[in-house]
Structures are given as C-alpha cells and as structure tokens.
Amino acid sequence: MVVRFTNQRQEILDYINSKPHHPTVDEVYTAVKIKLPRISKATVYQNLKVLAEKGYIKEVNIKGASRFEPILDEHHHIICRECGKIIDYESKALTEYSMTLAKNMKDMDIEFTNTNFYGKCKKCKKR
C-alpha cells in the first residue's frame, strides 16, 4: 500500500510540526481549514491516524481526547489534571533509565516509554 502525499496530508503534517502545542483533532481541523476550506473532518481523522501509524507524528491521549505532536527527541509530559494543559519535559537520563528497565521485560518488546507528571497548573491552583 503506497502512502500518497496529498495536499491535505501535507498541510496537516506541517501544522503539527509548526508548533509544540499538542493540538486536538478539532484544532488541527480548524487550522487546516483556513488553507484548504473544503477539507472534511473525516479526512483530518484519517490522516492523523495514518501519519501516526507511519511514524510521522505521535499521538498522545489526555483526558479522553487524542492530541498530536511532532516527532521530537524523546521527551515526557507535565499535565494539569484539571485543564489538560501539557508542558514538554526533556530528560535524557529519565528516558535512558526507563529504557534500561524495559530491556529486562519479557512480556513485551518495548518500543518507547513516556513518563507523565500529573499535577495542577498555576491557573487551576488559584481556584
């Protein structure tokens, strides 16, 4: 199965690569619609899925909804439990340590790891 590089696919990929912002499907749809007004949401869903499967982008699940991010150096996420805000957090040491543990697991072949730090952001803490 050949993966064709259509306009729609390219715009979606470009948008996700343009900002470290972890957009939702709707955010991608709204943004890409400006350049390609006739695009449908189903196409956005389909392409996000394909792009993630083929390894062009990465899918993250926060509070029940899918979000997407570029392929960056392996990193971790700081997540507000209340509003779902995400901050990227890089720690090679943590990644390496996790992967060391992964090598000793026999139940599954581990491909990558991700550590989530859950808490409350400043805004949500005020309330």
Q: Which residues contact DNA (rule: CB under 7 A)?
A: 1-9, 24-26, 36, 38-43, 45-47, 49-50, 64-66
Both structure tokens of 105: 């697991």
Exposure string (b/e) for 68-81, b if CB count within 10 Å is 16 or more? Answer: bbeeeebbbbebbe
- Phi first, then psi, for residue 115 (nearest 5°) are -105, 130
> Which residue number, 86 or 95, has a Cβ lying nearer to DNA?
86
Nearest to 32 by CA among 54, 47, 52: 47
Using DSSP's 3-state secondary structure scheme, residue 52 falls into: helix
Stretch of 1-9, 26-34, 37-45, 94-102 lying at the interface with its own copies (CB under 8 A) = 94-102
| In the complex, least distance from residue 23 CB atom to DNA, rounded to whole angstroms | 11
Q: Which of 19, 35, 41, 125 binds its own copies (CB under 8 A)?
A: 125
- Phi first, then psi, for residue 57 (nearest 5°) are -140, 175
Of residues 4-63, which lie at the interface with its own copies (CB under 8 A)?
61-63
Number of residues that bind its own copies (CB under 8 A): 34
Residue 36 touches which of its own copies, DNA, none (CB < 5 to 8 A by kind)?
DNA
In the chain, the N- to C-terminal Cα span, in Å, equals 52
> Which residue number, 33 or 120, has a Cβ lying nearer to DNA?
33
